[in-house]
Amino acid sequence: MAVAGVAAAHAGPAVTCWRGLRCWATPGLAGVGDERHVALTFDDGPDPASTPAFLDELDRLGWRATFFLLGSMVRRAPSLAAETSARGHEIGVHGDEHRSQLRRGPRAVHDDVERARDTIAEVTGTAPLWFRPPYGALSAGSLRSARALGLRPVLWTTWGRDWEAAATPESVVADVLRGLRPGATVLLHDSDCTSAPRSWASTLGALPPLAEAFATRGLTVGPLAEHGVGGGRRPGLRPLTAAPGPGASYRSLSVLSGSS
């Protein structure tokens, strides 16, 4: 019974995987913000095969977004991670490896999130505020680690199901708009590292029609920092010179060489 109780406590926060429930019960966690604004977010990068095309298209549309980066991907393409930040986009933490945190113990989760945060901070020169776990699967360990590392968990209110092999630009647009609600946070992917091969091309193709749909509805688009999540605006990036959050420790650039 004790073991079952511990397991239940560990997995309890995963009930937020149900979008309808979290939008109603925990709107801040769901990413509900300014009703006339859409927070545009991308997961799983940076990916040299696809992320540059997204950066160019976002420039063309005049949009900035929040990119939730994987530490392992950042170490493979550090210059691209730095470029993403330098081009005005907000950077969040998606973990170091894309593994469900429901299947990992609290210590492993903490180490994974900390390594990702430190890697991203070293490469981009900014300390990210936002954290989104792989698959959106929050555990008790996820929440404790985020709090200890000065990160704020945020999920999404609608998505494009753009990881599927059957996804098309039209299906991505339809799925995003089907779940669109006031103050929406949109989940998309700029990499296929955990998705169907070249699924990102459907996401990229969906951006222009989404821009038209959002404009028709009178919605502005931007990163979470401009979204007013939970009431009021909060900066999405903090300079590394700022005081780190509780438990923060920024390692040297050795994290990029694999020596740590």
As annotated, the active-site residues are 43, 189
Number of H helices, E strands in the chain: 11, 10
Residue 151: burial class (beta carbons within 10 Å; 0-12, 13-18, 19+): buried
Q: Is 188 helix (H, G, I), strand (E, B) or coil?
A: strand
Whole-angstrom distance, CA of residue 196 vs CA of residue 162? 9
Q: Which of 97, 45, 115 is nearest to 260 (CA)?
A: 115
H/E run at residue 153: strand 152-153
The 10 Å Cβ neighbour count of residue 163 is: 21
